[in-house]
Amino acid sequence: MARVTGLALLLLAACAGTLVAAATDDTSPVAQQVKAAFLFKFGGYVEWPSNAFPAADSPIVIGVAGDEELTQELVRVIAKRTLNGRPVAVQRVGADEP
């Protein structure tokens, strides 16, 4: 179940990143800040099933593929923050990972 949740989060992040990228082709620091804030805030609107996480303190993981600037900005945005009482983590994923 944890793997399914992780894949769902990865898909969610990919879709959200694509929508934001389509809206702006700008790679400026401000654009990266907006993208990172969008991805973080989006997670707050999700109602996670009680069995979506293996433990009560399991983090919500946002997966990022291929955009180092966005990854760095997300790490900055989520520092010491939680989503629905859970810690948040950023994980780089490669194109060859599921």
pLDDT of residue 48: 85
Q: For residue range 23-71, what is the model confidence (pLDDT) as tens digits?
A: 555 678 999 999 999 999 998 899 888 899 999 899 999 999 888 899 9
Which is nearest to 17 in space by CA: 79, 66, 87? 66
- pLDDT-above-70 percentage for the chain: 69
Domain count, the chain: 1
Is the model's pLDDT at 22 over the cut of 60? no
Length of the chain: 98
In a domain, 97, yes or no: no
In a domain, 87, yes or no: yes
In a domain, 98, yes or no: no
Structure tokens at 25: 């082709």
Pairing assessment for the beta strands 82-83 and 86-92 based on DSSP bridges = antiparallel
